[in-house]
Structure 1
Amino acid sequence: MIRYDLRCDKGHAFDSWFASAAAYDRLAAAGHVACPDCGSTKVDKALMAPAVSRAEDRPLTAPRDPREEALADLRRQVEENSDYVGLSFAAEARAMHEGRIPERAIHGEAKPDEARKLIEDGVPVAPLPFTPSRKTN
Protein backbone atom coordinates (compact mmCIF):
# COMPACT_ATOMS: atom_id res chain seq x y z
CA MET A 1 0.00 0.00 0.00
CA ILE A 2 1.13 3.53 -0.74
CA ARG A 3 -0.35 6.82 0.44
CA TYR A 4 -0.22 9.90 -1.74
CA ASP A 5 -0.92 13.50 -0.87
CA LEU A 6 -3.10 14.73 -3.74
CA ARG A 7 -4.34 18.09 -5.01
CA CYS A 8 -7.13 18.79 -7.50
CA ASP A 9 -7.15 21.54 -10.13
CA LYS A 10 -9.35 23.64 -7.80
CA GLY A 11 -6.61 23.60 -5.11
CA HIS A 12 -8.22 21.14 -2.67
CA ALA A 13 -5.68 18.95 -0.86
CA PHE A 14 -6.44 15.40 0.28
CA ASP A 15 -4.73 12.05 0.62
CA SER A 16 -5.56 8.53 -0.43
CA TRP A 17 -4.17 5.02 -0.29
CA PHE A 18 -3.45 2.88 -3.36
CA ALA A 19 -2.34 -0.72 -3.81
CA SER A 20 0.79 0.49 -5.66
CA ALA A 21 2.17 3.39 -7.65
CA ALA A 22 1.01 1.62 -10.81
CA ALA A 23 -2.50 1.26 -9.36
CA TYR A 24 -2.63 5.04 -8.75
CA ASP A 25 -1.45 5.72 -12.32
CA ARG A 26 -4.05 3.34 -13.77
CA LEU A 27 -6.93 4.75 -11.68
CA ALA A 28 -5.95 8.38 -12.31
CA ALA A 29 -5.65 7.80 -16.08
CA ALA A 30 -9.15 6.25 -16.09
CA GLY A 31 -10.61 9.24 -14.19
CA HIS A 32 -11.34 7.20 -11.05
CA VAL A 33 -9.37 9.40 -8.65
CA ALA A 34 -11.64 12.28 -7.65
CA CYS A 35 -11.46 15.16 -5.19
CA PRO A 36 -13.74 14.47 -2.20
CA ASP A 37 -14.53 18.20 -1.93
CA CYS A 38 -15.52 19.11 -5.49
CA GLY A 39 -15.49 15.82 -7.45
CA SER A 40 -12.86 17.00 -9.95
CA THR A 41 -10.94 14.15 -11.58
CA LYS A 42 -8.09 16.49 -12.55
CA VAL A 43 -5.89 15.33 -9.69
CA ASP A 44 -2.11 15.36 -9.31
CA LYS A 45 0.22 14.01 -6.67
CA ALA A 46 1.42 16.78 -4.36
CA LEU A 47 4.98 17.06 -3.12
CA MET A 48 5.47 15.02 0.01
CA ALA A 49 8.31 13.86 2.19
CA PRO A 50 8.72 10.12 2.69
CA ALA A 51 8.04 8.78 6.16
CA VAL A 52 11.22 7.01 7.22
CA SER A 53 11.54 5.18 10.50
CA ARG A 54 14.08 2.93 12.05
CA ALA A 55 13.27 -0.75 12.36
CA GLU A 56 13.29 -0.59 16.17
CA ASP A 57 10.71 2.25 16.08
CA ARG A 58 8.18 0.22 14.11
CA PRO A 59 5.65 -2.01 15.85
CA LEU A 60 5.62 -5.65 14.82
CA THR A 61 2.10 -5.22 13.43
CA ALA A 62 1.01 -1.85 12.17
CA PRO A 63 -2.32 -0.62 13.50
CA ARG A 64 -5.01 -0.57 10.85
CA ASP A 65 -5.94 2.89 9.64
CA PRO A 66 -9.60 3.66 10.56
CA ARG A 67 -10.13 4.95 7.01
CA GLU A 68 -9.10 1.56 5.63
CA GLU A 69 -11.60 -0.13 7.93
CA ALA A 70 -14.36 2.29 6.90
CA LEU A 71 -13.56 1.73 3.23
CA ALA A 72 -13.55 -2.06 3.67
CA ASP A 73 -16.91 -1.83 5.47
CA LEU A 74 -18.35 0.35 2.69
CA ARG A 75 -17.12 -2.12 0.05
CA ARG A 76 -18.71 -5.02 1.94
CA GLN A 77 -22.04 -3.19 2.26
CA VAL A 78 -22.12 -2.19 -1.40
CA GLU A 79 -21.23 -5.67 -2.61
CA GLU A 80 -23.71 -7.40 -0.28
CA ASN A 81 -26.61 -5.06 -1.02
CA SER A 82 -26.36 -4.39 -4.74
CA ASP A 83 -25.89 -6.25 -8.00
CA TYR A 84 -22.62 -5.96 -9.91
CA VAL A 85 -23.49 -5.13 -13.53
CA GLY A 86 -19.96 -4.60 -14.84
CA LEU A 87 -19.51 -2.39 -17.87
CA SER A 88 -23.27 -2.25 -18.49
CA PHE A 89 -23.62 0.08 -15.48
CA ALA A 90 -24.42 3.19 -17.54
CA ALA A 91 -27.08 1.42 -19.64
CA GLU A 92 -28.68 -0.20 -16.56
CA ALA A 93 -28.72 3.06 -14.56
CA ARG A 94 -30.24 4.96 -17.48
CA ALA A 95 -32.89 2.27 -18.09
CA MET A 96 -33.94 2.37 -14.41
CA HIS A 97 -34.02 6.18 -14.42
CA GLU A 98 -36.24 6.19 -17.51
CA GLY A 99 -38.55 3.52 -16.02
CA ARG A 100 -37.79 0.90 -18.67
CA ILE A 101 -36.67 -1.65 -16.05
CA PRO A 102 -37.46 -1.99 -12.32
CA GLU A 103 -35.24 -0.05 -9.94
CA ARG A 104 -32.70 -1.94 -7.86
CA ALA A 105 -29.36 -1.21 -6.24
CA ILE A 106 -26.49 -1.72 -8.69
CA HIS A 107 -22.78 -1.07 -8.89
CA GLY A 108 -20.37 -1.47 -11.75
CA GLU A 109 -18.07 0.40 -14.04
CA ALA A 110 -18.57 3.24 -16.49
CA LYS A 111 -16.24 5.11 -18.78
CA PRO A 112 -15.69 8.75 -17.70
CA ASP A 113 -17.72 10.13 -20.61
CA GLU A 114 -20.61 7.73 -19.81
CA ALA A 115 -20.59 8.77 -16.14
CA ARG A 116 -20.46 12.46 -17.06
CA LYS A 117 -23.46 12.03 -19.40
CA LEU A 118 -25.47 10.23 -16.68
CA ILE A 119 -24.81 13.09 -14.26
CA GLU A 120 -25.66 15.73 -16.90
CA ASP A 121 -28.94 13.92 -17.60
CA GLY A 122 -29.90 13.87 -13.91
CA VAL A 123 -29.43 10.14 -13.37
CA PRO A 124 -28.61 9.69 -9.64
CA VAL A 125 -25.16 8.06 -9.64
CA ALA A 126 -22.04 8.48 -7.52
CA PRO A 127 -18.46 7.24 -7.90
CA LEU A 128 -17.27 4.58 -5.50
CA PRO A 129 -14.03 5.22 -3.61
CA PHE A 130 -12.81 1.75 -4.66
CA THR A 131 -12.74 -0.44 -7.73
CA PRO A 132 -15.64 -2.89 -7.53
CA SER A 133 -15.02 -6.62 -7.38
CA ARG A 134 -15.86 -8.32 -10.65
CA LYS A 135 -18.37 -10.73 -9.14
CA THR A 136 -22.11 -10.93 -9.22
CA ASN A 137 -24.47 -11.48 -6.31
Structure 2
Amino acid sequence: MALKVFDLQCEHSHIFEGWFGSHEDYDAQQARGLVTCPVCGSASITKRLSAPRLNVAHLHAPAARPAVPSNASDAEKMAALQAVVMRQVRAVLRNTENVGPRFAEEARRIHEGDADDRPIRGTATPEERASLAEDGIDVMAVPDFLDDERLQ
Protein backbone atom coordinates (compact mmCIF):
# COMPACT_ATOMS: atom_id res chain seq x y z
CA MET A 1 0.00 0.00 0.00
CA ALA A 2 1.33 3.44 -0.91
CA LEU A 3 1.21 5.97 1.89
CA LYS A 4 0.82 9.73 1.60
CA VAL A 5 3.51 11.67 3.44
CA PHE A 6 2.51 15.13 4.68
CA ASP A 7 4.67 17.84 6.19
CA LEU A 8 2.91 18.86 9.40
CA GLN A 9 3.48 21.61 11.95
CA CYS A 10 2.22 22.05 15.50
CA GLU A 11 1.23 25.30 17.18
CA HIS A 12 4.77 25.51 18.64
CA SER A 13 6.35 25.45 15.15
CA HIS A 14 7.71 21.89 15.40
CA ILE A 15 7.76 20.46 11.88
CA PHE A 16 7.42 16.73 11.26
CA GLU A 17 6.22 14.16 8.74
CA GLY A 18 2.94 12.32 8.96
CA TRP A 19 2.28 9.14 6.96
CA PHE A 20 -1.34 8.37 6.03
CA GLY A 21 -3.24 6.08 3.67
CA SER A 22 -5.03 9.04 2.09
CA HIS A 23 -6.09 12.64 2.62
CA GLU A 24 -9.31 11.27 4.10
CA ASP A 25 -7.33 9.10 6.51
CA TYR A 26 -5.44 12.19 7.69
CA ASP A 27 -8.69 14.15 8.10
CA ALA A 28 -10.30 11.31 10.08
CA GLN A 29 -7.31 10.89 12.40
CA GLN A 30 -7.05 14.66 12.86
CA ALA A 31 -10.76 14.88 13.74
CA ARG A 32 -10.31 12.14 16.38
CA GLY A 33 -7.28 13.93 17.90
CA LEU A 34 -4.87 11.16 16.89
CA VAL A 35 -2.43 13.42 15.03
CA THR A 36 -0.03 14.88 17.59
CA CYS A 37 3.40 16.47 17.54
CA PRO A 38 6.15 13.94 18.31
CA VAL A 39 8.19 16.66 20.02
CA CYS A 40 5.67 18.31 22.38
CA GLY A 41 2.49 16.23 22.06
CA SER A 42 0.34 19.14 20.83
CA ALA A 43 -2.79 18.10 18.90
CA SER A 44 -3.09 21.52 17.24
CA ILE A 45 -1.61 20.45 13.90
CA THR A 46 -1.72 21.99 10.43
CA LYS A 47 -0.54 20.67 7.07
CA ARG A 48 2.31 22.64 5.55
CA LEU A 49 2.64 23.33 1.88
CA SER A 50 4.82 20.60 0.45
CA ALA A 51 5.49 18.74 -2.73
CA PRO A 52 3.36 15.58 -2.90
CA ARG A 53 5.29 12.45 -1.98
CA LEU A 54 4.30 8.83 -1.83
CA ASN A 55 6.04 6.28 0.36
CA VAL A 56 6.91 3.79 -2.37
CA ALA A 57 10.55 3.26 -1.42
CA HIS A 58 9.93 -0.48 -1.34
CA LEU A 59 9.51 -0.32 -5.15
CA HIS A 60 12.94 1.22 -5.81
CA ALA A 61 16.54 0.76 -4.81
CA PRO A 62 17.62 3.11 -2.02
CA ALA A 63 18.57 6.53 -3.34
CA ALA A 64 20.83 9.08 -1.77
CA ARG A 65 18.96 11.85 0.03
CA PRO A 66 19.77 15.34 -1.21
CA ALA A 67 21.60 17.51 1.30
CA VAL A 68 19.83 20.56 2.70
CA PRO A 69 21.19 23.62 0.86
CA SER A 70 23.47 25.77 2.99
CA ASN A 71 21.20 28.77 2.35
CA ALA A 72 18.14 26.94 3.73
CA SER A 73 16.21 28.69 6.50
CA ASP A 74 16.45 27.45 10.09
CA ALA A 75 12.90 26.08 9.77
CA GLU A 76 13.86 24.13 6.63
CA LYS A 77 16.97 22.76 8.34
CA MET A 78 14.90 21.75 11.39
CA ALA A 79 12.30 20.10 9.14
CA ALA A 80 15.02 18.12 7.38
CA LEU A 81 16.53 17.04 10.71
CA GLN A 82 13.14 16.02 12.09
CA ALA A 83 12.40 14.05 8.91
CA VAL A 84 15.70 12.16 9.25
CA VAL A 85 14.99 11.37 12.90
CA MET A 86 11.47 10.14 12.09
CA ARG A 87 12.80 7.90 9.28
CA GLN A 88 15.42 6.45 11.63
CA VAL A 89 12.88 5.76 14.38
CA ARG A 90 10.58 4.02 11.91
CA ALA A 91 13.51 1.99 10.55
CA VAL A 92 14.33 0.84 14.09
CA LEU A 93 10.69 -0.12 14.68
CA ARG A 94 10.56 -2.13 11.44
CA ASN A 95 13.59 -4.14 12.57
CA THR A 96 12.33 -5.14 16.00
CA GLU A 97 10.05 -7.89 17.26
CA ASN A 98 6.82 -6.65 18.81
CA VAL A 99 6.37 -8.52 22.10
CA GLY A 100 3.43 -6.34 23.16
CA PRO A 101 2.62 -6.17 26.88
CA ARG A 102 5.31 -8.77 27.64
CA PHE A 103 8.01 -6.15 26.95
CA ALA A 104 9.38 -5.78 30.49
CA GLU A 105 9.39 -9.54 31.06
CA GLU A 106 11.07 -10.26 27.71
CA ALA A 107 13.66 -7.47 28.13
CA ARG A 108 14.58 -8.93 31.51
CA ARG A 109 14.83 -12.47 30.03
CA ILE A 110 17.14 -11.22 27.27
CA HIS A 111 19.27 -9.30 29.78
CA GLU A 112 19.61 -12.38 31.99
CA GLY A 113 20.46 -14.66 29.04
CA ASP A 114 17.24 -16.67 29.31
CA ALA A 115 16.06 -15.62 25.81
CA ASP A 116 17.75 -14.98 22.48
CA ASP A 117 19.43 -11.57 22.24
CA ARG A 118 17.35 -9.61 19.72
CA PRO A 119 15.84 -6.16 19.28
CA ILE A 120 12.33 -5.98 20.73
CA ARG A 121 9.60 -3.43 21.25
CA GLY A 122 6.34 -3.47 23.14
CA THR A 123 4.47 -1.74 25.92
CA ALA A 124 5.54 -1.18 29.50
CA THR A 125 4.20 0.90 32.35
CA PRO A 126 6.32 3.73 33.77
CA GLU A 127 6.90 1.54 36.83
CA GLU A 128 8.14 -1.36 34.67
CA ARG A 129 10.50 0.97 32.76
CA ALA A 130 11.84 2.37 36.05
CA SER A 131 12.40 -1.14 37.41
CA LEU A 132 14.26 -2.15 34.23
CA ALA A 133 16.45 0.96 34.50
CA GLU A 134 17.23 0.20 38.17
CA ASP A 135 18.42 -3.24 37.07
CA GLY A 136 20.70 -1.75 34.40
CA ILE A 137 18.47 -2.66 31.47
CA ASP A 138 18.42 0.21 29.00
CA VAL A 139 15.08 0.92 27.35
CA MET A 140 13.72 3.87 25.43
CA ALA A 141 10.10 4.95 25.29
CA VAL A 142 8.86 5.62 21.76
CA PRO A 143 5.35 6.97 21.08
CA ASP A 144 3.19 4.15 19.72
CA PHE A 145 1.84 6.30 16.88
CA LEU A 146 5.24 5.80 15.20
CA ASP A 147 4.58 2.05 14.98
CA ASP A 148 3.28 1.45 11.45
CA GLU A 149 1.93 -1.99 12.50
CA ARG A 150 -0.58 -0.21 14.74
CA LEU A 151 -1.97 1.70 11.74
CA GLN A 152 -2.65 -1.38 9.60
TM-score by length of 2: 0.47
After the TM superposition, which residues 1-137 of structure 1 pair with which residues of structure 2 at under 5 Å, given as runs?
1-4=9-12, 16-18=39-41, 20=43, 60-61=49-50, 65-128=79-142, 130-131=143-144, 132-133=146-147, 135=149
Q: Distance in 2 between matches of 1:111 and 1:68?
A: 27
Describe the superposition over 1:71-116 as per-residue Cα deviations: whole angstroms up to 9, x where unpaired. Answer: 3212221122111112211111001111111110111221000000
Question: Cα gap change, 1:19/1:67 in structure 2, threshold over 3 Å: closer, same or farther?
Answer: farther
Question: Cα gap change, 1:3/1:83 in structure 2, threshold over 3 Å: closer, same or farther?
Answer: farther
Which stretches in structure 1 are left out of the alignment for 5+ residues? 6-14, 22-58
The residue matched to 2:101 in structure 1 has which SS? helix
Describe the superposition over 1:11-30 as per-residue Cα deviations: whole angstroms up to 9, x where unpaired. Answer: xxxx9253615xxxxxxxxx
Q: Distance in 1 between matches of 2:11 and 2:82?
A: 11
- Number of residue pairs matched by the alignment: 89
Instruction: Give percent identity, aligned residues only.
Output: 29
Question: Cα gap change, 1:3/1:127 in structure 2, threshold over 3 Å: closer, same or farther?
Answer: farther
Which stretches in structure 2 are left out of the alignment for 5+ residues? 1-8, 14-37, 52-75
Question: Cα gap change, 1:17/1:70 in structure 2, threshold over 3 Å: closer, same or farther?
Answer: farther
Q: Distance in 1 between matches of 2:12 and 2:101?
A: 28
RMSD value, Cα: 3.2
TM-score by length of 1: 0.52
Describe the superposition over 1:28-52 as per-residue Cα deviations: whole angstroms up to 9, x where unpaired. Answer: xxxxxxxxxxxxxxxxxxxxxxxxx
Question: Cα gap change, 1:4/1:123 in structure 2, threshold over 3 Å: closer, same or farther?
Answer: same
